[in-house]
Amino acid sequence: MVFRRPNPKLFVYPDPLDHVHQVSCAKLLGVTFKDNFKFDAHINNILKLCSQRLYLLKLLRDQGIPPQNLNIIFNSLILSRLQYALPAWSGFLSADSVGMVNSLLKRAFKYGYTNSLYTLEALSNDADECLFRKIHYNEHHCIHDLLPPLRASINYLRPKGHSFELPRCALELHRKSFLPRCLFKYV
């Protein structure tokens, strides 16, 4: 797979290598990546799987399972699948993809499979904040070394969310990735 910016006019494809099959979409650790950093295929896979699981919840509800048990099953079968690796791919979603996931979550709430109405934005913010706090406060975290250096002087009247230097993001794609997104969000 050759990663490129979303604008195909500015990209020159490299010559193919012998015995290497080039693909535009690949699944790695359960997350479907595309060569242009779009996660539409991943969202489609998740929605397909979650729709099947909603049907299972419908069958369980029709069998007489109590609502609190349906909520537990919803959290374990559907919500856990949506939250898997969410900080890695949530910044790259289009508005259409977010709308499709939110409509699935709204449908689950409407049919009584869950006790609270979730949105992808709220799930993403919670996951980002949780992971960023773990990285920030745990020096032994595996990606703690990816954080930028601390600011030289900290002479602020208000407390800030962190004391790291903000990275220079020339490209919007870089700004959408997890660490720059969190560094700018939790200033």
Q: Is the pTM of this model over 0.85?
A: no
Contact 39, 32 (CB under 8 A): yes
Domain ranges of the chain: 8-118, 124-185
List the structure tokens of 121.
């934005």
Predicted local distance difference test score (pLDDT) of residue 155: 65
Percent of the chain with pLDDT over 90: 44
Predicted local distance difference test score (pLDDT) of residue 36: 78
Predicted local distance difference test score (pLDDT) of residue 25: 84
CB neighbour list of residue 34: distance below 8 Å, 6 or more residues apart: 24, 25, 40, 41
Instruction: Place 115 in a pLDDT band, splitting at 50, 70 and 90.
Output: very high
Residue 157 predicted with pLDDT over 80: no
Single-letter amino acid code for the residue at 16: P
List the structure tokens of 78.
């559907």
Helices and strands per DSSP (H, E), number in the chain: 8, 2
Predicted local distance difference test score (pLDDT) of residue 158: 64
160 CB burial (10 A radius; 0-12, 13-18, 19+):
exposed
Q: Kindly state the average pLDDT of the residues 97-108.
A: 95
* Count of CB atoms situated within 10 Å of the CB of 116: 8
Residue 75 predicted with pLDDT over 70: yes
Average pLDDT of the chain is 86
